[in-house]
């Protein structure tokens, strides 16, 4: 029963998992890929944020909305804005000079427009379908968790059979090799796949989980204030960042959101020591643009457990919580999904063709995971 259910989940949803695996593997190092295609960057002390914002404002048709780091290296900053058509765009600038390095469309219609890596990002996170696509992927992530758990149960080697499971010399026929590779890759990638499925679903259902947490758990909701007109700030951008860092002196600057009609205040995003995110922290200090008074402080490092779990989902999903080795593990897990799909479908098709020629018993009719010639069975 489990073998058949595992098979049919792969047949019906497997292509979505293949797409998720390939795009996810590509995105593991997408920031490095983005940086590789940019012109060489002049190193040096960054210019004041107010000067950089003024420089970019003269080049774009609407006022900027935020400025912050592109990645862990502070030598490149990105200034975001929404154009007249309502599209989110960004300008990558050199922090030391203010020179424009590139333009970005954060939701490009094709990989040939704006940013190929961003298009892949939207495909991976929303299937290019907006919030509805995210919910669909959240459901597929939960089914991947179920299928992975079933596959682990079915493929777990019998007692004293672990050595035979990894001994390729015993894989003599094509059917044995297909089954054994499927099994070996599945066993090796199970831990990473379970983590990716759980964290991916957590991000896709983040709104629902936050709403549940606010009602039933100790949870720190996001700071809100009544919308109001955007007034000319008395406090400059650099002063707002200085005020925020005085409240969280060990944190480093990530980004600054400028006052808007939706939130008429500065929001300074910082990374506190102890946050799972390696460079893009989630601590926030809200500063009144008229008086410089601190309106709210959200310290992610000391937030309630529910907050920290939800905010850590991306860090674990991308592997960055475990550094370079964690990212490699995510890369391997992403590539494991198409490998499992191809070996599983190929083995199933071979069995199906064979079953039309030679009658088979009930044990061989289940799925790829109930193969009649497991290497360890012959070795024991």
Is the confidence at residue 252, as pLDDT, over 90?
Answer: yes
Can you give the pLDDT at residue 369?
43
Burial class (CB in 10 A: 0-12, 13-18, 19+), 301: middle
Can you give the pLDDT at residue 271?
95
Average pLDDT, the chain: 88
pLDDT digit string (tens) for 119-169?
999 999 999 998 899 999 999 999 999 999 999 998 888 877 777 777 777
pLDDT digit string (tens) for 266-295?
999 999 998 888 888 999 999 999 999 999
pLDDT digit string (tens) for 220-229?
999 998 887 7
Q: Average the pLDDT over 172-199 and give the result.
A: 91
Helices and strands, counts by H and E, the chain: 12, 8
Q: Average the pLDDT over 72-80 and give the result.
A: 92
Distance CA 268, CA 128 (A): 30
This prediction has a pTM of 0.85
Can you give the pLDDT at residue 368?
43
Residues 6+ apart with CB under 8 A from 108: 114, 115, 118, 119, 122
Q: Average the pLDDT over 363-373 and give the result.
A: 43
Q: Average the pLDDT over 295-317 and give the result.
A: 95
Can you give the pLDDT at residue 358?
56
Q: Average the pLDDT over 33-48 and give the result.
A: 88
Reported confidence tier of residue 360, pLDDT bands at 50, 70, 90: very low
Is the confidence at residue 377, as pLDDT, over 70?
Answer: no
Comparing 17 with 274, the larger pLDDT belongs to: 17
Question: Token digits for 51?
Answer: 């000067």
* Contact predicate 49/245, CB 8 Å: no
Q: Of 65, 364, 378, 336, whose CA–CA distance to 191 is shortest?
A: 336
Can you give the pLDDT at residue 370?
43
């Amino acid at each position: 029963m489990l073998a058949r259910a595992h098979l049919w989940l792969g047949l019906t949803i497997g292509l979505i998992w293949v797409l998720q695996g390939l795009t996810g593997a590509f995105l593991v190092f997408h920031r490095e890929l983005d940086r590789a295609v940019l012109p060489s960057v002049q190193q040096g002390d960054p210019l004041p944020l107010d000067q950089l914002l003024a420089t970019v404002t003269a080049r774009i048709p609407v006022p900027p909305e935020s400025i912050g780091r592109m990645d862990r290296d502070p030598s490149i900053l990105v200034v975001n804005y929404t154009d007249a058509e309502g599209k989110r765009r960004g300008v990558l600038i050199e922090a030391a000079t203010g020179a424009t390095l590139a333009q970005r469309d954060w939701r490009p219609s094709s990989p040939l427009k704006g940013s190929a890596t961003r298009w892949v990002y939207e495909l991976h996170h929303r299937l290019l379908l907006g919030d509805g696509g995210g919910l669909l992927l959240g459901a597929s992530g939960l089914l991947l968790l179920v299928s992975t758990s079933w596959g682990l149960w079915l493929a777990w080697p019998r007692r004293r059979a672990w050595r035979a499971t990894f001994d390729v010399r015993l894989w003599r026929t094509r059917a044995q090799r297909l089954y054994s590779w499927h099994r070996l890759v599945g066993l090796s990638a199970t831990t990473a796949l379970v983590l990716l499925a759980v964290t991916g679903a957590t991000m896709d259902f983040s709104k629902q989980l936050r709403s549940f947490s606010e009602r039933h758990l100790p949870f720190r909701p996001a700071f809100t204030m009544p919308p109001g007109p955007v007034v000319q700030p008395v406090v400059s951008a650099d002063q707002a960042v200085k005020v925020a860092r005085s409240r969280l002196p060990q944190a480093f600057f990530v980004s600054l959101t400028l006052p808007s009609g939706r939130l008429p205040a500065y929001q300074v995003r910082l990374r506190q020591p102890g946050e799972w995110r390696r460079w893009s922290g989630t601590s926030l200090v809200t500063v009144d643009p008229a008086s410089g008074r601190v309106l709210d402080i959200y310290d992610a490092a000391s937030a309630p457990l529910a907050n920290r779990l939800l905010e850590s989902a991306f860090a674990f999903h991308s592997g960055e919580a475990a550094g370079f080795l964690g990212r490699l593990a995510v890369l391997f897990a992403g590539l494991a999904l198409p490998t499992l799909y191809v070996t599983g479908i190929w083995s199933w098709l071979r069995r199906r063709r064979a079953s039309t020629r030679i009658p088979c018993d009930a044990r061989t009719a289940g799925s790829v995971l109930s193969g009649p010639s497991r290497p360890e069975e012959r070795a024991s």
